[in-house]
Structure 1
Amino acid sequence: MAVEVANESEISVDEHALAGVCRYVLGELDVSPLAELSVLCVDVDYMASLHERWMGEKGPTDVLAFPMDELDTARPDDPDPGPALLGDVVLCPAVAVRQARAAGHSMGDELLLLATHGVLHLLGYDHMEPDEEKEMFGLQTTLLDGWRSTPRDPVTGEPTASGESGPR
């Protein structure tokens, strides 16, 4: 799965971890390995302009998701799967810093949560209704718990196939 991460914000982020959690979520949800998505980290002003333009709300937000292709082109059971551009997840690290402090965890953990949240939106999940919220946030928690418990190569950060970490 191709996940492109670009950091255009003034705050340093772990691009490998963001790409990794997105690949993990897509894999766990059986999205075609030919699917692609981009993650863009932006500053407060740019996020505020996106938020107002697309959501009609003033001020910056933490994450926005912009879907591209139809979801059925990314399904693994498609008889003729081709590359599918899922869309863009836009994150605002400056907002993530504030939210992380309030939640009592690191900015890195907050960005992983927000990236997971954005990918779920690209895949059609929403939280406008109570039952949708319960489903989406429950899945988000399950996916993040799975991501955190998966053994990783200490150099690449990629999951190890055998559960062992380090070179062989």
Structure 2
Amino acid sequence: MISINNLTKKKVSAVFLKGVAKIVLKGENTGKGKELSIVLIEAPAIKKLNQKYRKKNKPTDVLSFPAFVSKSGLRRTGKCEEDFLGEIVICPKEVKKNAKENKMAFKKELAFVLIHGILHLLGYSHEGLKKEAEIMDKKTEKYLFKINL
């Protein structure tokens, strides 16, 4: 089950978000019946979360909160034993700002950050190793292509 909780004034299609999430989860072979929470919040709220968890005193477009992290810190083992994967928090205002800066449609930027967030929940990282970042970038592009964006 993929739950969507929009706490903003911006209208965002829950059907679109769920569709993107399902494509990524299926593509990553997470198994059936996985649960994921997607929350849309305003800039001040995500700024507080970003400060608390990443020590960055500014708003960001997306944060991922995995429900489980293996001993190695990475999860990428194919099927997941846990039913609840975690929560992705997205700030539509920041997504819109980034879309404008990147000369990209809002919908594509939104899909990008959601894919990015899900990959983080599944243990992928772009921090530190260049190879890891390349893997994450390739997967993101693959899923954007699959959803025709």
Decide: shared fold, TM above 0.5: yes
For residues 143 and 76 of structure 2, what CA distance do their matches in structure 1 show?
A: 22
How far is the alpha carbon of 1:130 from its aligned partner? 1.1
Question: For residue 65 of structure 2, what is the aligned residue in structure 1?
Answer: 66
What is the TM-score normalised by the length of structure 1? 0.79
How far is the alpha carbon of 1:126 from its aligned partner? 0.3
Residue 6 of structure 1 aligns to a residue in which SS? strand
Question: For residue 72 of structure 2, what is the aligned residue in structure 1?
Answer: none
Question: For residue 75 of structure 1, what is the aligned residue in structure 2?
Answer: 79
Question: For residue 124 of structure 1, what is the aligned residue in structure 2?
Answer: 123
Q: Does 1:133 align with 2:137?
A: no
How far is the alpha carbon of 1:52 from its aligned partner? 0.3
Q: Look at both structures and tell me which one has the larger radius of gyration over its CA atoms.
A: 1
Q: Which protein has greater RCO, CA pairs closer than 8 Å, 6+ apart?
A: 2
Question: For residue 45 of structure 2, what is the aligned residue in structure 1?
Answer: 46
Question: For residue 6 of structure 1, what is the aligned residue in structure 2?
Answer: 5
For residues 69 and 136 of structure 1, what CA distance do their matches in structure 2 show?
A: 19
Residue 148 of structure 1 aligns to a residue in which SS? coil
Q: How many residue pairs get matched?
A: 143
User: What stretches of structure 1 of length at least 5 have no aligned partner?
Assistant: 150-168
For residues 76 and 29 of structure 2, what CA distance do their matches in structure 1 show?
A: 12
What is the 5 A alignment of 1:103-118? Answer: 103-118=102-117
How far is the alpha carbon of 1:72 from its aligned partner? 8.2
Residue 89 of structure 1 aligns to a residue in which SS? strand
> Is 2:98–2:109's contact at 8 Å kept on the other side of the alignment?
yes
How far is the alpha carbon of 1:143 from its aligned partner? 1.2
RMSD after superposition: 1.9
Residue 90 of structure 1 aligns to a residue in which SS? strand
Letter of the 1:134 partner, please give it: E
Which portions of structure 1, spanning 4 or more consecutive aligned residues, are displaced by more than 2 angstroms?
69-74
Residue 147 of structure 2 aligns to a residue in which SS? helix
User: What stretches of structure 2 of length at least 5 have no aligned partner?
Assistant: 70-74
What is the TM-score normalised by the length of structure 2? 0.89
Identity of aligned residues (%): 27
Residue 68 of structure 2 aligns to a residue in which SS? coil
Q: Does 1:26 align with 2:25?
A: yes
How far is the alpha carbon of 1:102 from its aligned partner? 1.1
For residues 69 and 124 of structure 1, what CA distance do their matches in structure 2 show?
A: 9
For residues 6 and 127 of structure 1, what CA distance do their matches in structure 2 show?
A: 27
> Is 1:22–1:119's contact at 8 Å kept on the other side of the alignment?
yes
Letter of the 1:75 partner, please give it: K
How far is the alpha carbon of 1:73 from its aligned partner? 9.6
For residues 144 and 18 of structure 2, what CA distance do their matches in structure 1 show?
A: 13
How far is the alpha carbon of 1:92 from its aligned partner? 0.4
> Is 1:74–1:84's contact at 8 Å kept on the other side of the alignment?
no
